[in-house]
Structures are given as C-alpha cells and as structure tokens.
Amino acid sequence: MFQLQWQQLSHPVLSSLATDVWLASVPSMIPRLTGNKCLKLKYHIQHIAQTQAVGIVSFGGAFSNHLAALAAAGAHFGFATVGLVRSHSPLPSNPTLDFCRAHGMNLVALSRRDYQRRHDADFIEWLKLQYPEFHLVPEGGSDLLGIAGAASIDVSKTPAGPATHLVLATGSGGTLAGMARTFQGQVTGIDVVGDERVKTRLGEWLIGHDHWQLRASVDSSGYGRFSTETLQACLQMLEQGVIFEPIYTGKAWLSLLRLLQTGQLPAGERYVVFHSGGLQGLQGLAARGLITPAQWYAFEQALIKQQLLD
Ligand SMILES: Cc1ncc(COP(=O)(O)O)c(C=O)c1O
C-alpha cells in the first residue's frame, strides 16, 4: 500500500484568505513511477502478474510521463513494455524516450492519424492482433483498472483534519474519476488538455456522483505549453521544497490560487492538492529550451535533494 506524504503549503493568497492547503504526494521506491502513475498502473501490473501476458503495451506522446512510468515499472518488476508513441518515424532522441529505451521499452512510432484512433474499437482490435501476448493499457492508464487504482487511496485525511476540497490536474480523467470515489468533499479537476471527450467520459465513469467539476486551467496556453506566470509559480514553490512542473501540477496550483482569489472556489476551507507527479518532464522542457539553463538548474537541485533523479 502507498504511504501518503503531507506538506502544508504557504502562499500570501492563502494567508490573506485564511485558507488551509495541504499537498498530498505518493512517494515511490521507483523514481519515475510516482504520483498518479503508481496508482493508475497498480492493478494493470497486478493483472499481467495474474494472467499469461508477457507485458504491457500502451500509448503516449514523445514526452509522456505515462510511458516513462511504464518503462520504469517494466524494468523494476520484470515485464516487457511496448510504447506506441505519437511521433514521426524514426523516433527522435529526447530525455523521456531515451529513458524508456534504456529501461527496455520497445518504442514504435504512430502517425498523428493513427494516434487519433487510439480509442476506436477496430483499431484496438487490430493492435491486440499485433501484440497478442500483451495487456493493452489505454493512454494515461485511464480505464476501469486505472480508476480503481486511483480510488485505492484516500487523500481526504490531512494531518490537520478532514479536507473539504480536492484539487488535481486532469488530462484523460482517470485520476479524478478514481479519487472522486473515495473523497467525500468537492473535487475540482483542472483541465490541462482541453479535450471535450474527457468531460463526457468523466460523466460516464462518475454516474451517480455530483461532487466533482472540471475547470479549465487559468493558464490557457494549451496542452504541453505554459505561461511565464505558471513557470514562475512553480519556481516560487521550490523555496518551500515543493517541485511542481508547468504542464500539469503547476497549472493546477496556479488555477487553485486564482479560483480562490476570484471567489470561484470558497475561501476559509481546507483543501488538498494532489501531486500527480510528472517531474520527469522537466528534463524534456530543458532539452527543448522551454526553460532556461538557470531554471533547469533550480529544478535539478531540488530533484537531486529529494533523490528524484536517477
Ligand atoms: C503529471 C500528471 N498529472 C496529471 C495527469 C492527468 O491524469 P489523468 O490523465 O488521470 O487525468 C497526468 C497524466 O496522466 C500526468 O502525467
């Protein structure tokens, strides 16, 4: 079982609004298998251990946190992994894909057009024929097994008492769908992807639950991009020893502050922010020049201090 780690967050906005915010993290022995990844992959890994499957095949972008986590899990637990990567062929070299390769993942490029078919029944059937001995996991690990994994921890009990609100970064929706099953208060997913189908899927996964909402990120740069404000918010948190990256957790954090400031989320309550991981992506931002060498150095020092670089 995973041991939750708690840290109370401070920020002038929170003190001025008398609002208590706790960061919940899931530390892991396996550096890249952190945050929502160890939760969403938990039952998929168990599934292959219980069946004849030789490994897992799954999807992701060229900087995918999910594929990096899967490669790390495969290398650690000893199962084969195949990553179907949304990219041109031949696949490029970058810190995420290099990590996947070094951890034994077989990477296969999928054209943008094929990648768009990743949820289509006929495409999935075709993939199953290509990889008959593998267990197929959808993008982000978000399906009923992934949701069950995310529902297997209860982040509502902070060291200061029960929380009334949970805020988390949302992409494919599996983490929100799982956590909303155990969290009693209001759950707010900060949508960092902007795919209309996610809300529909969440509605289907959470039939009978009305204590959740999906809010657009206040940073409207689009998926994989970020504003200077988001990056600054992440860098500022390093002073408290909190490492957020600007694609997922940084956007959730900044959005929480702005939603509180504008009264769209109530002040004076106790919030939990779930740290969904994604820190491996920072290296890729540095490699693409999306953060400066000095900014990467600041993140890197924090990652080294917390033993999160392997
Ligand atoms: C770091 C990080 N945070 C949040 C998410 C979003 O989680 P979900 O796809 O379950 O909504 C992802 C994607 O899995 C992620 O990599």
* Ligand 1 pocket mutation, candidates 153, 172, 202, criterion most atoms within 8 A of CB: 172
Residue 304 Cα to ligand 1 midpoint, Å, equals 23
253 Cβ inside 6 Å of ligand 1: no
Going from the C-alpha of 87 to that of each of 109, 112, 219, 300, the distances in angstroms are 5, 7, 25, 27
60 Cβ inside 6 Å of ligand 1: no
The predicted-structure confidence for 172-207, as pLDDT tens digits, reads as follows: 999 999 999 999 999 999 999 999 999 999 999 999
Q: Which helix (H) or strand (E) holds 136?
A: strand 134-137
pLDDT of the residue at 1? 57
Sequence-ordered strand ranges (E) for 171-207: 186-191
Q: Which residues contact 180 (CB under 8 A, 6 or more apart)?
A: 187, 206, 209, 211, 212
Residue 234 Cα to ligand 1 midpoint, Å, equals 17
* Ligand 1 pocket mutation, candidates 28, 33, 36, criterion most atoms within 8 A of CB: 36
pTM for the predicted model, two decimal places: 0.96
Residue 16 Cα to ligand 1 midpoint, Å, equals 30
pLDDT of the residue at 308? 86
146 Cβ inside 6 Å of ligand 1: no
Residue 310 has pLDDT above 80, yes or no: no
CB atoms within 10 A of CB 48: 19
Strand pairing category for 270-274 and 20-25: parallel
Beta bridge partners of 273: 23, 167
The predicted-structure confidence for 43-68, as pLDDT tens digits, reads as follows: 999 999 999 899 999 999 999 999 99
Copy the structure tokens of residue 268.
């004076």
Tell the residue number behind the tokens 């959808």, with chain if given.
138
Domains, the chain: 5-26+153-305 (3.40.50.1100), 36-144 (3.40.50.1100)
250 Cβ inside 6 Å of ligand 1: no
Closest CA to 226 of 295, 159, 177: 295
Burial label, 112 (beta-carbon count in 10 A; 0-12, 13-18, 19+): exposed
244 Cβ inside 6 Å of ligand 1: no
Could you tell me the maximum CA-CA distance found in the chain, to the nearest angstrom? Answer: 58
Which atom, in ligand 1's list, is nearest to the CA of 198? 11
Q: Are 151 and 181 in contact (CB under 8 A)?
A: yes
Distance CA 241, CA 305 (A): 9
284 Cβ inside 6 Å of ligand 1: no
The predicted-structure confidence for 222-259, as pLDDT tens digits, reads as follows: 999 999 999 999 999 999 999 999 999 999 999 999 99
171 confidence band (pLDDT: 50, 70, 90): very high
217 Cβ inside 6 Å of ligand 1: no
Going from the C-alpha of 41 to that of each of 27, 55, 167, the distances in angstroms are 15, 12, 21
Which atom, in ligand 1's list, is nearest to the CA of 247? 1
Q: Which helix (H) or strand (E) holds 259?
A: helix 249-261
